[in-house]
Structure 1
Amino acid sequence: MPGVALFAAEETVLTAMLEGWELQQRSRMLSGLTIERRLLTVRRFVSFTNDYPWRWTPGDVEAWTAEMVSAGLAHSTVRNYQMAVALFCGYLSDARYQWHEVCERHFGDVPVQIFHEWNTVIHRTDYEGRPGNRPLSRDELQAFFDYCDQRVGQVRARGRKGWLATFRDAALFKTIYAWGLRRREAAKLEIVDWSANAAAPEFGRYGALAVRYGKAMRGSPPRRRTVLTTMGWAAEALAEWVEEVRPLYDATGTALWPTERRAVVGTDAISRRFSEYRDAIGLDRNLGPHCLRHSFATHLLEDGFDHLFVQQQLGHSWGSTTAIYTSVGADYKNRALRQALDRAFHPETLNRD
């Protein structure tokens, strides 16, 4: 109330600001985890400035950003941190919440928006994830799979025992790509995880994959999802492995990727073999197996699949996460532009046989 002095006024008002912003975000039905992370970021900024929001300046933003960059934080991470504090400043400077009146009365100063176009991170590139995770072009992907198949032929022609392992690894990499899997998800697969999809009978018993070891939220068990088969060639390659080649291992269990010692292929082995093949064909040495999952998402979008479908295939809770995974190529963009222009200016061409 006006005229009433607050005990520990700065801390009391700051706490009330954070609680009010939390309620505002909850009213927008944002996830609890998103809200928690944003609040934590704001508290970090408070700690960095050692000051209160009504005394923050654009210079604080620039000093904070410089520290994050020097600490090696990713471009996209810095932008997300900036966005969280900018949203908080936007809330405080909105006259509808009357924080300017509270701060003027108690501190003789008011909160303002300290983030602007000259001190915030921009979208630097089409792809902002880790360089080693960027999607492969279709030509790069074809070269990689061609080399996988070539290795099988070479080892088998020499009469070497390891041809089963090279066939297994070729099938494994194709599976990671064609169903958009993480290394651990792929390594944990079993034969029983595959089932038919009545909506796509052409894929036989490999129409859907039950992923049982998806990436877990903090403190939660592995997340499960079902990935629908979208690539017929991959279903054929998997069927050949499961029904013709895998039985030669004399494996007694249900693991999809057994070894000669009756163990299962691990994530480190997947990374080592990927690196070997990557280097052999001259791909960027930063690339790791996870780039196959990013390629899956990008190529589905380029092929016209709905963004929500791709998001569900990947098991993402939020579309913004899927956006980090995708970077459509120039050819796709040009085709999309041409189609849009034809619809707008040459509709008669769309009716031609």
Structure 2
Amino acid sequence: MQHFLDVSNLRQVLSLDSGTAALHPDEAVYESMLGSWEQQQRSRSLAEATIEGRTSTVRHFTDYAGSYPWKWQASDMDEYTSHMRSKRLAISTIRQRQGILQVFCSYLISPDYDWVEICEAQFGETPSQICLPWNTTKHVADYEGLPAKRALTFDEIEMLFNYADSRVETAIRDGRKGALAALRDAQMFKTAYAFGLRRAELRGLDIHDLHANARVPQWGQYAALHVRWGKSSKGSTPKRRTVLLIPELSWWIDGMQQWVGEGRALFAPGELPALWPTERKTRVSLEYIDRRFTALRREAGLDPALTLHCLRHSYVTHLIEYGYADRFVQEQVGHQHSSTTAIYTSVSGDYKNRILADALSRFNTLEVP
């Protein structure tokens, strides 16, 4: 439902032609600015969640500045950035908010729209671009995440999943509630690692996303995953890809067979196709996934800096250490650029020493006696 006035109706309400003043012209103009900007973004097929997030950022800045867009100045942006830094927001978050405000200001001052004319006639002031090259954060590094976030070692992966399995066994032995949810969670996180999935990709899996691979018929329907909720870009729909299970991670199959054949049915999901259903016959939420991983990591005694996304970093790193080609790894995780895959890679010292030893061995065979 439309909760704002389009430009033609706004002109009538403001009575720019008749000379009759509106009761609250500033609020009317502001809400119409935001509403029209939202429509412009929908015309680009941007996701509703993206549009809502951008609008929220503009409203937050408006509240902070204490003024409407036609009164904003570059100094307001300077103060807002200092405020964000004082809150210890990530550099990427600061740059993202600055980018949103820059796009909004560009929309307002574009000659293709009437906002400059409307503001000039109504308020005697006009919007301007407040996000300038000298007061916004530049993207100068490929990776801006926290240095503490890293790939898990093989030992840490084993420790995490052993602990997740032990929670299931303990709950069953003690006759406590939660054994089924613990089984689901254990297999869910194993799946995130075994296929290098993002959080939304993991949550969006359906039972029919399990696929066979003619090269390994003995694995049946557990040889590949069809990922349908990959990260979208520039207003596109979620990207799709098929991720193949590799032999080194085929231990995942036994647990998945147990989950699909026995565990999942106990949730009585009915017609819900979700691979990870809940007692309420819904999909697990993104918040639940984060919360459960954090609890498992803490209880297993692992580094507090490790997050669910670190399992994806671990997958990339371990595939490289297993000897898979860079291009194969890039396709598996759905990266458009190889440089992104390289950011995720953090091979161990043992791997580097092995590569060096192989290189030295080849070099020595080429030496002239």
Question: Would you say same fold, with TM above 0.5?
Answer: yes
Q: 1:274 aligns to what?
A: 293
Structure 2 distance, partners of 1:281, 1:141, is 11
Which of 138, 154, 179 lines up with 2:170 in the alignment? 154
Question: Is 2:251 the partner of 1:233?
Answer: yes
Structure 1 distance, partners of 2:218, 2:366, is 35
1:83-162 matches, within 5 Å, as 129-131=145-147, 133-162=149-178
Q: Secondary structure at the residue paired with 2:229?
A: strand
Query: What amino acid sits opposite 1:216 in the alignment?
Result: S
Q: 2:225 aligns to what?
A: 209
**CA deviation after TM superposition for structure 1 residue 346, in Å:** 4.5
**CA deviation after TM superposition for structure 1 residue 347, in Å:** 7.7
Structure 1 distance, partners of 2:288, 2:362, is 50
Alpha-carbon contact 1:129-1:324 (below 8 Å) kept:
no
**CA deviation after TM superposition for structure 1 residue 339, in Å:** 1.3
Q: 1:290 aligns to what?
A: 309
| Structure 1 residues 133 and 194: alpha-carbon distance in aligned structure 2, compared to 1, 3 A threshold | farther
- How many residue pairs match? The answer is 236
| Structure 1 residues 122 and 290: alpha-carbon distance in aligned structure 2, compared to 1, 3 A threshold | closer
| Structure 1 residues 130 and 246: alpha-carbon distance in aligned structure 2, compared to 1, 3 A threshold | same
**CA deviation after TM superposition for structure 1 residue 262, in Å:** 1.2
Which of 325, 334, 346 lines up with 2:344 in the alignment? 325
Query: What amino acid sits opposite 2:152 in the alignment?
Result: L
Structure 1 distance, partners of 2:216, 2:148, is 34
1:1-80 matches, within 5 Å, as none
Which of 283, 301, 304 lines up with 1:264 in the alignment? 283
Alpha-carbon contact 1:133-1:294 (below 8 Å) kept:
no
**CA deviation after TM superposition for structure 1 residue 260, in Å:** 1.2
Structure 2 distance, partners of 1:129, 1:178, is 23
**Cα deviations across residues 35-73 of structure 1 (Å, max 9, x unaligned)?**
xxxxxxxxxxxxxxxxxxxxxxxxxxxxxxxx9x99976
Q: 2:269 aligns to what?
A: 251
Query: What amino acid sits opposite 2:327 in the alignment?
Result: L
**CA deviation after TM superposition for structure 1 residue 151, in Å:** 0.5
Q: Secondary structure at the residue paired with 2:251?
A: helix
Q: Secondary structure at the residue paired with 1:213?
A: strand
| Structure 1 residues 287 and 318: alpha-carbon distance in aligned structure 2, compared to 1, 3 A threshold | same
Unaligned regions of 5+ residues in structure 2, if any?
1-81, 96-139
Unaligned regions of 5+ residues in structure 1, if any?
1-66, 79-120, 349-353
Structure 1 window deviating more from structure 2 (174-183 vs 133-142): it is: 133-142
Structure 1 distance, partners of 2:279, 2:245, is 29
Q: Secondary structure at the residue paired with 1:241?
A: helix
Structure 2 distance, partners of 1:290, 1:306, is 22
**CA deviation after TM superposition for structure 1 residue 220, in Å:** 1.2
Q: 1:179 aligns to what?
A: 195
Give TM-score scaled by structure 2 length: 0.59
Query: What amino acid sits opposite 1:311 in the alignment?
Result: Q
**CA deviation after TM superposition for structure 1 residue 343, in Å:** 1.8
Which of 322, 343, 347 lines up with 1:303 in the alignment? 322
Alpha-carbon contact 1:229-1:235 (below 8 Å) kept:
no
Q: Secondary structure at the residue paired with 1:282?
A: coil
Query: What amino acid sits opposite 1:159 in the alignment?
Result: G
| Structure 1 residues 166 and 302: alpha-carbon distance in aligned structure 2, compared to 1, 3 A threshold | same
Structure 2 distance, partners of 1:303, 1:216, is 29
**CA deviation after TM superposition for structure 1 residue 132, in Å:** 6.0
Structure 2 distance, partners of 1:264, 1:229, is 24
Percent of aligned pairs with the same residue?
A: 49
Q: 2:41 aligns to what?
A: none
Q: Secondary structure at the residue paired with 1:272?
A: helix
Structure 1 distance, partners of 2:350, 2:236, is 41
Which of 164, 188, 199 lines up with 2:180 in the alignment? 164
| Structure 1 residues 150 and 73: alpha-carbon distance in aligned structure 2, compared to 1, 3 A threshold | closer
Structure 2 distance, partners of 1:180, 1:237, is 17
Structure 1 distance, partners of 2:215, 2:287, is 36
| Structure 1 residues 337 and 122: alpha-carbon distance in aligned structure 2, compared to 1, 3 A threshold | farther
| Structure 1 residues 174 and 276: alpha-carbon distance in aligned structure 2, compared to 1, 3 A threshold | same
Structure 2 distance, partners of 1:173, 1:131, is 23
Which of 200, 214, 227 lines up with 1:198 in the alignment? 214
**Cα deviations across residues 63-110 of structure 1 (Å, max 9, x unaligned)?**
xxxx9x9997659x99xxxxxxxxxxxxxxxxxxxxxxxxxxxxxxxx
Structure 1 distance, partners of 2:200, 2:148, is 17
**Cα deviations across residues 114-166 of structure 1 (Å, max 9, x unaligned)?**
xxxxxxx899xxx8643464110111111101110011111111112310000
Query: What amino acid sits opposite 1:160 in the alignment?
Result: R
Alpha-carbon contact 1:131-1:286 (below 8 Å) kept:
no
**Cα deviations across residues 162-213 of structure 1 (Å, max 9, x unaligned)?**
1000000000000000000011110110010111011222321111111000
Q: 2:3 aligns to what?
A: none
Q: 1:113 aligns to what?
A: none
